[in-house]
């Protein structure tokens, strides 16, 4: 495996291109490992699927490891909570398996993971789009990347998934002994919120807002920063971790609301009000000088009046 230095931080271009693993049958998979990172960046390009023979095809990415996963794996629930899955089994009702492949694929909005039941080694995969995820054999994790169905099946009301499109998937792949959440939460932010270029006047740049600096806690997510009518600013903050998910990550986070406002606008700030999630009902006035605390799982919304 070759390490490809990060071209953003390196003064010279990378000496080697990312490794192209496979480009057979219209599928190209590129694997990159940047210097200083503890995860792989995977780009998978899948061309249009040929169904001229009248048979549907499904393109999967199968990751094979030596993890003793004991018939279990995890997928996320709407990008938030990790749900344990079992092969050919469910803990609350008896399972009758008629389609052993399809019955074991579960939806994953953001991530899937495989865990060794003996030594807690884990394979974590974070994606930029939803997939069906399965583990049909111990030590394997499969992601449904693309599919084209020439004929409708008996359970979908005659709907055919017959679209002739190309698909490009961006993944982050990590092997770890840490808690899974301490890996997939930062990787979710890396995938969902890639670096953006910001331009501003020199007056604004003299005191940039908190979220643009390293002082902004990595466990916080700035979900909304929206100017409203009548000189109001809507800010929505989220604690990225859930309660008990990670010993360090699930601790409370405090933030100074003043640092969310451009320096030039602080003098005209009149009040800050915490509201319900959608910002329509006031809950309580907030002293802007006092830090606000977010517990694990919290999403809090504030309206700044200028």
Could you tell me the pLDDT band of residue 156, with boundaries at 50, 70 and 90? low
The CATH-assigned architecture of domain 19-192 is Distorted Sandwich (2.70)
Residue extent(s) of CATH 2.70.98.30 domains in the chain: 19-192
Q: How far is CA 14 from the centre of its chain?
A: 27
Angle (CA) 298 169 176, round 5°: 60
Count other Cβ atoms within 10 Å, centred on residue 264: 12
Q: What percent of the chain has pLDDT over 90?
A: 55
Q: Tell me, what's the pLDDT at 15?
A: 42
149/174: higher pLDDT: 174
Dihedral sign of CA atoms 199, 200, 206, 209 in order: negative
Could you tell me the pLDDT band of residue 201, with boundaries at 50, 70 and 90? low
Residue extent(s) of CATH 2.60.40.1360 domains in the chain: 202-305
Q: Which residue has the tokens 């989220």?
A: 238
Q: Tell me, what's the pLDDT at 55?
A: 83
Q: How far is CA 50 from the centre of its chain?
A: 31
What pLDDT, in 10s, does the model give residues 20-70?
A: 554 556 888 899 988 889 999 999 999 888 888 888 888 999 999 999 999
What pLDDT, in 10s, does the model give residues 89-107?
A: 998 989 899 999 999 999 9
Could you give the CA distance from residue 136 to residue 117 in angstroms, rounded to a whole number?
17
Q: Tell me, what's the pLDDT at 50?
A: 83
Could you give the CA distance from residue 214 to residue 211 in angstroms, rounded to a whole number?
8
Could you tell me the pLDDT band of residue 213, with boundaries at 50, 70 and 90? low
- Whether residue 18 is predicted with pLDDT greater than 80 in this model: the reply is no
Q: What is the secondary structure of 173-232 as a DSSP string?
A: EEEESS-HHHHHHHHHHHHHS--------HHHHTS--GGGSTTS-TTEEEEEEEEETTTE
Least confident of 30-39, 178-187, 196-205: 196-205
239 token code pair: 């604690």
Mean pLDDT estimate for the chain: 85
Fold of 202-305: Immunoglobulin-like (2.60.40)
Number of H helices, E strands in the chain: 2, 19
The answer to whether 249 and 181 have CB atoms below 8 angstroms apart is yes
Least confident of 23-27, 171-175, 208-212: 208-212
The answer to whether 131 and 112 have CB atoms below 8 angstroms apart is yes
Q: Tell me, what's the pLDDT at 13?
A: 42
The 3-state DSSP class for residue 263 equals: helix
Please compute the mean of the pLDDT values over residues 146-156 and round it to a whole number.
Answer: 73
């Amino acid at each position: 495996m070759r390490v490809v230095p990060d071209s953003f931080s390196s003064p010279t271009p990378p000496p080697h291109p990312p490794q192209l693993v496979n480009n057979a049958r219209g599928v190209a998979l590129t694997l990159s490992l940047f210097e200083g990172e503890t995860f792989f960046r995977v780009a998978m390009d899948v061309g249009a699927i040929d169904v001229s023979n009248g048979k549907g095809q499904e393109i999967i990415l199968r990751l094979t490891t030596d993890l003793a996963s004991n018939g279990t794996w995890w997928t996320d629930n709407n990008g938030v909570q990790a749900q344990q899955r079992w092969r050919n089994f469910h803990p609350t009702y008896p399972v009758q398996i008629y389609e052993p492949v399809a019955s074991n694929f579960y939806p994953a909005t953001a991530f899937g993971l495989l865990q060794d039941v003996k030594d807690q080694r884990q394979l974590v995969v974070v994606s930029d789009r939803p997939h069906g995820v399965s583990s049909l054999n111990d030590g394997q994790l499969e992601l449904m990347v693309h599919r084209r169905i020439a004929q409708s099946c008996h359970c979908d009301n005659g709907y055919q998934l017959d679209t002739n499109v190309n698909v490009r998937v961006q993944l982050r792949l990590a092997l770890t002994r840490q808690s899974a959440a301490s890996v997939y939460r930062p990787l979710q932010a890396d995938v969902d919120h890639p670096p953006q270029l910001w331009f501003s006047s020199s007056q604004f740049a003299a005191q940039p807002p908190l979220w643009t600096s390293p002082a902004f806690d990595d466990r916080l997510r700035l979900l909304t920063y929206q100017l409203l009518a009548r000189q109001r600013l809507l800010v929505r903050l989220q604690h990225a971790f859930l309660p008990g998910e990670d010993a360090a990550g699930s601790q409370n986070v405090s933030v100074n609301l003043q640092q969310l406002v451009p320096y030039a606008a602080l003098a005209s700030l009149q009040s800050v009000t915490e509201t319900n999630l959608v910002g329509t009902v006031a809950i309580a006035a907030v002293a802007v000088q006092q830090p606000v605390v977010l517990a694990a799982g919290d999403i809090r919304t504030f309206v700044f009046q200028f």
